[in-house]
Amino acid sequence: MVEKGGDAIAVGSDVEAPPEKRTIGIWEGLLYLNGFFTQVDGYYTAFMGRYVFLVAAHLQFAITVSVGTYVANIDLDDGLIQQKIYVLVGVIAGSYLLMQIAKPFREALLMWYRVKGGETIGTAMIAKIFNLPLGEITTTPTGEFTQLLVQNGKITETFHPAFYGIAIPLCVETLFLFIFLSAAYKYAGMVILVLFVTFSTVGYITALRMSDRSQNELRNGMQMFGKLVGYMASYERAHYFGNVDHTIGLVRDAITEYNVNRYNDKVGELSEEFPMLMFGVVCHVLAPVLIALSMEGSTLFQRLAMIGYVVGVYLTELQQFTTALAQIRTGVSDFTVVREFLERPNAVGDRPGAVELAPGISPAIEFKNVVFSYGERVILDDVSFKVDAGSRLGVVGSSGCGKSTIMKLLLRFYAPTSGTITVNGQDIYSVTADSLRSLFSVVTQDSQLFNGTIRENIGYGKLGSSDDDILHAAKLAELALGATEGENNDMNLDKPCGEKGAHLSGGQQQRVALARAMLKNGMCYLLDEPTTGLDGVVARQLQDTFDEITQASSTIMITHHLEDLKNADQIIYLDQGKILEHGTFDELVGAKGEFYSQLEARKRAS
């Protein structure tokens, strides 16, 4: 691999170096997740929210603990028994009331916290997609991205309640109980500690196993949804070829495969739950005995009260705690998949110190000995050419010879294996990608329209454009367009274009695409077979429009309508990644080579 100017970014790859892969631990996962909350707008509020919430959650447990403590300390020999019972009942009722008040408050805060977290991570995930190299986008099924996004929402939903709502408060409660009981009786605190430690250990081990399964399920799910979304998008194709039943069969297979995997995992889980269940039963039997034995010197009532508290309240909480542990562990484990995604290598970004290309200048473009391959296969082999500022280059050659690849390299979607590409004498890797891309107005064979109105589709070229600007661009692109309904039949700014422009004719789609490109007002036009697939007359008219519009700008025009290149300043004829012929239209015709024979063949065919 060739290093460019000693910089960190190597030529020959459009991808940054990948990070090492590993499953993350609870603590690391927590810190990583927390990192997203520090990015939340108004972090201060999030921060306060979290602590107010923690206090609220503790309040609930603190009340439970005090009731337990009070009960354990009732002295039956004291003459004030009746008053004490009144106070006890009052405290229980009061604490119940407080807990009920704290609950919705706690839930609201948690909900706010989850929503914010999901929002930040969700946005980070979408932003990530735009930073991935094009190669990655074209190989990953869209459904995988979508599923990961949905699952991410679920992770933030369960993780935070489990962690902040159950795990932390229970630890605090245990600490209080331990201190209090140790102070009052010699061994009772130890009993609580042993219960806590064994429950956490057993819970954590179970959680570890569950977390692997959960990660598998997540990956399985992503795969399945990747397939399903692909099948769903095949509506037209399936109908054209009578393959609807076949496609539905494939859908069923994908779902079955996912469910069989999930079923196996679930059965494994159930068989592990049984020992946990037995463990719980044993603890429920042993705990009261141990508590009773450890409370030396206390009355029978005190012992009974304490047993009631430990069995009725504390053990139940411990069991919730083990469930919470599993949720935390699986949350973090699932989050490993999200993090893996977020740490996928980006497309090579700007070099440190990359400069802005000066805007507003019709650029000169030069390819010097450019070599490029997708993997093993060499696509461009030592390609050199120069487009002077304001001039027009025609690129021709058989399908698959590498024409579009030239544009993708120029736009920095892929990096050449060797050789350099310059714009106005500056290496395209020494300038920022944004300033580079802002130079070009691109029209491709696929018009890249989205499901919005014509106004939105043209306006996309320069966001915030006025209707007048949009209508002006449409006029230059010779798209007969009315501002309102009724003018020019149904072609008006409010007309919906349909999915991928399906509600417009091919010629109209390309004119909308051209108007969009013109609105962007790039200083160089890159036209990649924009008239391909249109009927002869429409293609001819559209080509005239292109010629007219691009007259003063640097232009690279890829086409297989060779006769459209009569007024190109130069033409290159590509064959298997090499430039076979290079010259003006007349020179190439005069040379009577490949270009000439292709031209003749086209004439005969039409």
Ligand X SMILES: Nc1ncnc2c1ncn2[C@@H]1O[C@H](COP(=O)(O)OP(=O)(O)O)[C@@H](O)[C@H]1O
Of the candidate residues 402, 416, 459, 461, the single one contacting ligand X (CB under 6 A): 402
What lies within 8 Å, CB to CB, of 163 at 6+ separation is: 30, 324, 328
307 binds, among Mg ion, ligand X, none (CB under 5 to 8 A by kind): none
Neighbours of 455 (CB within 10 A): 20
- What does 220 bind: Mg ion, ligand X, none (CB cut-off 5 to 8 Å by kind)? none
Please give the residues from 123 up to 142 whose contact with ligand X meets the rule CB under 6 A.
135, 138
- The yes or no reply on residue 400 touching ligand X (CB under 6 A) is yes
Closer residue to Mg ion, CB minimum distance, 290 or 527: 527
The answer to whether residues 55 and 163 touch, using CB atoms and an 8 Å cutoff, is no
Enumerate residues 6+ apart whose C-beta is below 8 A from 327: 158, 159, 162
82 makes contact, choosing from Mg ion, ligand X, none, with CB < 5 to 8 Å by partner type, with: none
Both structure tokens of 256: 């079955």
Do residues 211 and 130 lie in contact, with contact meaning Cβ atoms separated by under 8 Å? Answer: no
Structure tokens at 421: 């590409």
Stretch that binds ligand X, among 91-99, 285-293, 403-411, 483-491 (CB under 6 A): 403-411
The interface with Mg ion within residues 76-95 (CB under 5 A) comprises none
CA distance 550 to 568: 11
Residue 556 touches which of ligand X, Mg ion, none (CB < 5 to 8 A by kind)?
none
Return the percent helix, strand and coil in the chain, to nearest 5: 60, 10, 25
Task: Work out whether 13 is an interface residue with ligand X (CB under 6 A).
Answer: no
Given 20, 78, 353, 399, the residue binding ligand X (CB under 6 A): 399
Contact region with ligand X (CB under 6 A), list: 48-56, 81-89, 245-253, 397-405: 397-405
Around Cβ 425, how many Cβ atoms within 10 Å?
Answer: 8
Of the pair 379, 565, the CB lying nearest ligand X is at: 379
Planar angle of CA 537, 540, 541, nearest 5 degrees: 90
Query: At closest approach, how far in Å is the CB of 416 from ligand X?
Result: 13
Tell me the number of residues near ligand X by CB under 6 A: 11
Token representation of residue 24: 């993350």
Minimum distance of Mg ion from residue 403's CB (angstroms): 5
Stretch that binds ligand X, among 267-275, 293-301, 394-402, 562-570 (CB under 6 A): 394-402
Nearest to 215 by CA among 100, 332, 333, 95: 333
3-state secondary structure 356-406: CCCCCCCCCEEEEEEEEEECCEEEEEEEEEEECCCCEEEEEECCCCCHHHH
Only one of the segments 223-231, 393-401, 477-485, 494-502 lies at the binding site for ligand X (rule: CB under 6 A); that segment is: 393-401
Lay out the site mask for ligand X across 320-359 (x = CB under 6 A, - = otherwise): ----------------------------------------
Query: What are the two backbone dihedrals, phi and then psi, of residue 411, each rounded to the nearest 5 degrees?
Result: -85, 5
- Between 139 and 271, name the residue whose CB sits nearer to ligand X: 139
Select the span of 94-102, 398-406, 537-545, 593-601 touching ligand X (CB under 6 A).
Answer: 398-406
Among ligand X, Mg ion, none, residue 401 binds (CB under 5-8 Å by kind): ligand X
Residue among 571, 533, 538, 576 nearest 555 (CA): 571
Q: How far, CA to CA in Å, does 218 sit from each of 25, 334, 601?
A: 18, 7, 55
Residue with tokens 């306060």: 48
Q: Is 403 in the site for ligand X (CB under 6 A)?
A: yes
The entry of ligand X, Mg ion, none that residue 268 binds, CB within 5 to 8 Å by partner kind: none
Total of residues contacting Mg ion (CB under 5 A) = 1
Interface map 363-402 toward Mg ion (x if CB under 5 A): ----------------------------------------
In terms of CB distance, is 257 or 575 closer to ligand X? 575
Q: Binds 19, which of ligand X, Mg ion, none (CB < 5 to 8 A, cut-off by type)? A: none
Those residues with Cβ within 8 angstroms of residue 258's Cβ, 6 or more apart along the chain or in another chain: 220, 221, 223, 224
- Among ligand X, Mg ion, none, what binds residue 117 when CB lies within 5 to 8 Å by partner kind? none
Q: Provide the minimum distance between the beta carbon of 404 and Mg ion in the complex, in angstroms, as a whole number.
A: 3
263, interface contact from ligand X, Mg ion, none, CB < 5-8 Å by kind:
none
- CB 278 to ligand X: min, Å: 56
Helix 168-184 with 315-342: angle, nearest 10 deg: 150
Contacts to ligand X from residues 370-389, by CB under 6 A: 374, 379
379 binds, among Mg ion, ligand X, none (CB under 5 to 8 A by kind): ligand X
Provide the token pair at 592: 């009577």
Q: What are the strands of the beta sheet with 365-374, ordered from one edge?
A: 377-387, 365-374, 418-423, 426-427
| Least distance from ligand X to the Cβ atom of residue 398, Å | 7
| CA separation for the pair 349, 361 (Å, rounded) | 24
Residue nearest to Mg ion (CB): 404
Q: Is 401 one of the binding residues for ligand X (CB under 6 A)?
A: yes
Q: Which of 404, 465, 510, 550 binds Mg ion (CB under 5 A)?
A: 404
Q: Are 294 and 178 in contact (CB under 8 A)?
A: no
| Residues near ligand X, by CB under 6 A | 135, 138, 374, 379, 399-405
| Residues near Mg ion, by CB under 5 A | 404
